[in-house]
Amino acid sequence: MILIADSGSSKTDWVIVDGKEKHLYKSLGLNPYFLRWNEIHAEIRKVLDGQFDFSKVNQVYFYGSGCTGEAQIEKVKLALKQCFANAELVVDSDIYGAIQATANNRTGIVSILGTGANACYFDGEKIPKRSPSLGYLLGDEGSGTWLGRELIRAFAYQELSEKIHSDFVAEYQITIEQIKREVYQLPKPNTYIASYAPFLKKHLDDPFIYDLVKKSFSFFYEKHLSKLVVDKSTPFHFVGSIAYQFQDVLKEVLVENDCKIGNIVAKPIEGLLKSSILGN
């Protein structure tokens, strides 16, 4: 039995593969920068206990947000080992999962645009160039957290049209003081801020909102993608809810920068199930 996980800061998709049978499960995001190993372990147990025989799992592939350093990877491995004692564990950054899901072992520039953001150049075998992932406080341009923050700022600074401002108040029933409390006093502020991104999708026909989203993607291209280009014929692949939901705007930015558009998928787990992990 093989267990595959794609974990972001907001949610984790799990698939257990037993022969031709595949079963999907969901849990909270398991970013080791925000959670201790025992909290990761508890969430895995909460969601997967009783769903299948843990002792029969012989391989676990975990691709996760925050799995970028030895300490973070070991934290996730420790949590997994407590559950799947007989399994060979592969824990790596979510960018490797994105590569597996989109590039199909071919050269490509691969990006994640979900709650957070990440990008790299993949030469078909390895990653010779990657953009630094600084997290939501210092980076994550173009991500759900970035978009949510820009919307909150526009709301607070009275930059939204009267109708959009009114719709925002009606939908969220929240004040700036309450938003500040969520961001500065409660856990997982990045996930909270990103939760406002769907509002932008609903109001994308508003010129100000459309411009906000486009500027965010243009900034992501400027700060990250433009520095990864080796050959203009290299396709640009994307995974993540933000890339998928706003793909028309994203494609506009890519076309304006003479980029070759590759695969854009919402959930890496779909591509991972078709990847070489399973011998496909």
* 108-161 confidence digits (pLDDT tens): 999 999 988 989 999 988 999 988 877 778 888 999 999 999 999 999 999 999
Compute CA distances 183 → 22, 180, 194, 268, whole Å.
38, 5, 11, 28
Report pTM: 0.81
Segment (H or E) for 152 = helix 144-156
What pLDDT sits at residue 84?
95
**Of the candidates 151, 95, 155, 154, the residue with the CA atom closest to the CA atom of residue 122:** 95
Buried b (16+ CB within 10 A) or exposed e, 234-269: bbbbbbbbbbbbbbebbbbbbeeeebeebbbbbbbb
> Domain spans of the chain?
2-97+270-278
| Candidates 3.90.480.20, 3.90.226.10, 3.40.630.30, 3.30.420.40; CATH matching 2-97+270-278 | 3.30.420.40
Q: Identify the band that residue 172 occupies on the pLDDT scale cut at 50, 70 and 90.
A: very high
What pLDDT sits at residue 220?
95
